[in-house]
Amino acid sequence: MEAVIQEESTGCGIAASAALAGISYLEAKRIANALGIYASDKSLWSETDHVLKLLQELGISVSSKEVPFESWERLPDKALMAIKWRMKQNKPYWHWVVFVREGSEAKVLDSKKALKSNVRQDFGRINPRWYIQVFN
């Protein structure tokens, strides 16, 4: 699985969905927009509904529940994760990333454009709040 770089500063949910589906950011954005989902909508990174709707449209099966993060070892082989979780004006916000374990290698695919590498293994620096299991 490859990281997909977000083309908009608020497009992490679209980019994470694209990475899981194996498509480009622009293709995922086109599909998201057709569903009424736009990166500029702040609910994209403070609610799960839009991303879950996009993933369903892309044929990606995920759990319907958010599971609190306990440890990297206890994560499923694929997960959509909320990192950089914070409260702003009594509303939660986070950055979407993808966790994937392939064989013995675990990595986080982070869509942020400014990163030197969008494939992260600096687990001590990543502070997940919760995750949603990805089944396919």
Q: Is residue 86 part of a domain?
A: yes
Q: Is residue 44 part of a domain?
A: yes
Contact present, 1 and 102 (Cβ < 8 Å): yes
Q: Is residue 19 part of a domain?
A: yes
What pTM does this model have? 0.94
Q: Is residue 112 part of a domain?
A: yes
Angle at 54 (CA atoms; ends 84, 34), nearest 5 degrees: 120
Give the count of domains, the chain: 1
3-state secondary structure 21-41: HCCCHHHHHHHHHHCCCCCCC
Task: Give, for all 136 residues of the chain, the pLDDT tens digit.
Answer: 999 999 998 899 999 999 999 999 999 999 999 999 999 887 776 789 999 999 999 999 999 899 999 999 999 999 999 999 999 888 888 999 999 999 889 999 999 999 999 999 999 999 999 999 999 7
Exposure letters 48-83 (e unless 16+ CB within 10 A, then b): bebbbebbebbebebeeeeeebeeeeebeebbbbbb
Q: Is residue 5 part of a domain?
A: no
Q: Is residue 4 part of a domain?
A: no
* DSSP β-bridge partners for residue 132: 80
Q: What range defines the domain where residue 27 resides? A: 12-133
Q: Is residue 3 part of a domain?
A: no
Q: Is residue 107 part of a domain?
A: yes
